[in-house]
Chains A and B, each alone.
Chain A
Amino acid sequence: MSTLVQTWHIACYEWFDALRSRRALVVLLLYLAAAVCNMHWSINLLHRLESELATALKLPASEQAGVVSTALWKSKPFQRMMKQMTRNDLVLRDITGKHPIELIYAWFAFFYTPLLVVLVASNRIAEEIGSGSVRYVFFRTSRASWSIGKFIGQMFMIGLALLLSGTSAYIVAKIRLAGSGTPDLFFNMVQWSLRAWVYSIPYLGLAMGLSHLTRSSSKATVMGILAITACFVLSILIRHFTTDTGWRAYLPHLGQLLPDAHKMLLWRNAPAPLIAGSATLITLGFCYLFTGYAFFRTRDV
């Protein structure tokens, strides 16, 4: 019990300490700014498309964006295009019921969260090993409690960043997009933030697991960036080279070790795939973390 309490104390302190660190604050602000700008530019694009459509149809152009988007969203040609993009009928069925602005935000959050994770968290463990500040902790608590506590603290940090970015994106949409200021949309944006947060956990585990391997803060960041890039590249290669027969038919099984293979489960509405996807991604995150920890626990500090 006391180990759990110690882990909790470390997690809370890590969160507050991360918030105080200049680097995390700068990255957090940049991420918020990117979320706001992404929403702003997406709405501008939407408005321009709508205006062009209205001109072509010789209809009066609307002052606000979003007037015809919802109708467009439900049209057959658009859905065919989405099917091509998602390559998953179940996902397509689930997302066509969503407000377009939700999907713009969701795309942003899922695409950029791994980068946010690497920039915020990849050096947290290496930095403390390098500076020797871990030496003040390890005679008070176990290394496992410390590593897990730091990981959970960073999960809080990323969660906060995503919730704030979701809220900011909602505020931009409410100001700029017709009929989008509903509480339902806000609730859905928060939900997408949470889904992106779950998706960030394996990347966080990967970045922090690697951070156990070095005493250099900059080396840990570079390793994090390389690892996450490798994840993306491997996912693409596995998709590209998979065939129905021969050894290549087993490639998707290897792909299960990568977060990308489970991403689409988080885009579903039904609780079963959502829970399964979340459980798998969280487990992957802890597995990556423990792999780094296994090396670290035998190391001198």
Chain B
Amino acid sequence: MAKVLGFLVLALSVLNCEAAIFKPISDSHRSAALELFTPAHGSLSSLEETYEALRTFEVLGIKKQPDQRAATCVTVGDTLSSPTSALKDLFQALRVNGLLNCELNKKTLADIAPRLKDVVKSASSLLDYYYSVGSLVLIKGLNSDVDVHLESADSVVRSIKALSQSDGRWRYSSNNPESSTYAAGIALESLAGVISLASSEIDQSLISMVKSDISKLLDGLEKYDDGAYYFDEKLADAHGHQGPLSASSAVVRGITAFAAVSAENLNLPGDKILGLARFLLGAGVPGNAKDLYYQIEALASLENNRVSIPLILSLPTSVLSLTRKDQLKVNVNTVLGATAPSLTVKLKQIFSSGSKDASVIDQDLKFDHKNGVHYLDALPKDIDVGNYIFSFEIVLHDSEHKMIYATGGRTKVPIYVTGVIIVDNAEISVLDSDLGNIETRKKLDLAGKNSISLSANHLQKLRLSFQLTSPLGNALKPHQAFLKLSHESKVEHIFVVGNSGKQFEIILDFLGLVEKFFYLSGRYDIQLTVGDAVMENSFLQPLGSVELDLPEAPEKAARPPPQAVDPSSRFGPKAEIAHIFRSPEKRPPSNLSYAFLALVLLPFVGFLVGLLRLRVNLKNFPTASAPAAFAILFHLAIVAVLSLYSLFWLKLNLFTTLKALGFLGIFLLFVGHRTLSHLASTSAKLKSA
């Protein structure tokens, strides 16, 4: 269920209760309408949308695009001539035709009229009545040849009336118990159509019943604080797109249509009509086509209605500068922005914000014929800067107009009067704590640049004072009067500067503040901010700095809170890391190794030389063929084992080496055993011999 309260707050962002400005339809609506009703794919999807677009353009005075007229007229003609067209489509086609004036075949219209009349007679639901009656009214407006008059108008009115509820709302059909305000608007429009189609006078009692229904309906109006009235739609989303705006719009259209055809005066309260107009205007520029159509269509019917035409009082600007001597200007228009009849705007009262009492002024505003603006030459003398609520009243010159136009009594408008505030006598000083002696005093120019540098310790005080005077010489207490001390480490401290009259003064006793300052000594930048909504020269001034010498922090003192870091500094590439490899072990120079190699080989050479010197011989080598073969194999095997060791050094690994050594060893054992046993037997023979 729609929470309607949020609607205006969001749509208007109006925060001031009871006083608000509603502006009539303006160019922003026109540009929005062009934007919203510009078809996405060349043409609008349905006749209903086409009608809404054309109607909105017509009311807003936007020239229609001629290129679409021909294509749309073809669709209209097709819809009307097809016997299977739904009632709703017929109605929409006729409505579009009403705006475009397509050249229609007279016969088609003559064919449709009886069909529509049948529907009117046999209809059971409200929408059937609405479409059929609406279509007949449209045909009547087009072509007087076709007979569209209803003979049994009374009974049709009765059967429509049968759907009404005690609270003035209507049901869509007799078997649907839920009632809606939107339906009430449709019903009133249909009734108005029936009355205009009736061939004979409608029973007066029926009309007065409808009148009482209307007044009951208006009793159900809900009100905002700012004087806007609206209908809350209780039946949510019955037709997909309903809310307070569509409901209020439908009722406004219904009532104005009914008022246009009924002969007698409906006696509707003007303030409620004005309130409805305000609600419709308060919706601002709706963001979708449907809402915009509802708004514009309802406002258009309010613009020329027989009940009462609302007049909207608006201000081009509600921020007035005393220094620039701005004039108070007021526009009075109808809802669509047309000029109002001759009238006088009176400024009746001025309420000052903060105080309840009002000053009664009762002053007429002058009228500038050229621009159509009511203006006040100069603001009343005693109006100083500040927030006010001005109360206006519209007085119509012609007494007959009082019956036609709804002005809504007094209109309250919030006004901000701003001005340049005089800032002077600014000075900053450092005081000794106990005696209050002034140690240093510096004058400040708060309009220009300042860069004082002071120094103080925790036993001293800092005093800042200045004066603010409003244009009329009164004291002004600005909303924002802050003194900010910010340490080098970005820790900030803010103090509100208090005042007595015009004089503003703040004394910072550092002894009491050391804990708050987290015992941080060092340079503090001083910044003064003075600002107010009515102060045109609000400023943020760096004054300079003070060098504070505070005592050392005790152990348990609070640490300063972490300060915000620049997000871009948090990211970014890290410093590269390269691995430092272990340095290789130190080795002797290769020449030294070769020298030692030579040294190591020397004994072997010595051994060889020794052998030669001993004249070794191999005479004992076996001579018999078999032992000689075994001896050769034995030594070859030894050579093989030794070469295996060399190979092990050169490339083989331990496993292949051991494997090969195993086989070689067995072989060596065998041939070794044969050779050695042969040698042993030879020597034994020798000995025995």
B partners with A: no
